[in-house]
Amino acid sequence: MKPVIRIGKKEDLARLRELIVELAIYEKEPDAVEVTLAELENDGFGPDKIFDFFVAEIGGIVQGIALYYFKYSTWKGKCIFLEDIVVNEHMRGNGMGKLLFDEVVKVAATHNCKRMEWQVLEWNEPAINFYTKKYQAELDPEWLNGRLTGQELKKLASELDSCH
């Protein structure tokens, strides 16, 4: 059966979270998922919505997702960031990831984005091959990813408040 690709709905959030957990397990971080269904609902459908997502369904069951959001580059302008494509493990290799990726490409083009970005772990050969062979995508070896966790942000903010 050919997957049906559509925009994600509130009713898809539980399945979205399940696939996020599946991705965390695949990426060897099974306990790293902190986001709750309530946060997904607020952040995807609330008044200050910050992400959108597509789902890939087969037989009415969501088997894959692509979650993305808009960002801004001081050099380029409006860009889109593909946070994750996740395809259920037993459905991988049938073109579903490509269909999801292509939908995000269409959104980026429709919104006149100057760039589409995503990350891939250096050991994830299937994903690297997907991006570089199917799309001739450039993987940038120069940029390092910076990150502060929520706990670190709270600690730093507290320290900054006590200094002022």
Query: Domain containing 94 — which CATH number?
Result: 3.40.630.30
- By the 8 A CB rule, do 131 and 120 touch? yes
Mean pLDDT of 9-30: 96
Q: What is the pLDDT of residue 163?
A: 81
Q: Is the pLDDT of residue 80 over 80?
A: yes
Contact 80, 108 (CB under 8 A): yes
Q: Which residues are catalytic?
A: 131
Digit-coded pLDDT (tens) for 115-164? 999 999 899 998 999 899 889 998 988 887 888 888 899 999 998 988 87
* pLDDT of the residue at 149: 83
Instruction: Answer yes or no: is 90 within a domain.
Output: yes
140 is a domain residue: no
Global pTM value: 0.91
Total tally of structural domains belonging to the chain: 1
Task: Answer whether residue 92 is part of any domain.
Answer: yes
Is 34 part of any domain?
Answer: yes
Residue 95 in any domain: the answer is yes
What domain range is 13 assigned to? 4-118
Q: Which residues pair with 67 in a beta bridge?
A: 53, 84
Question: 67: part of which helix (H) or strand (E)?
Answer: strand 61-73
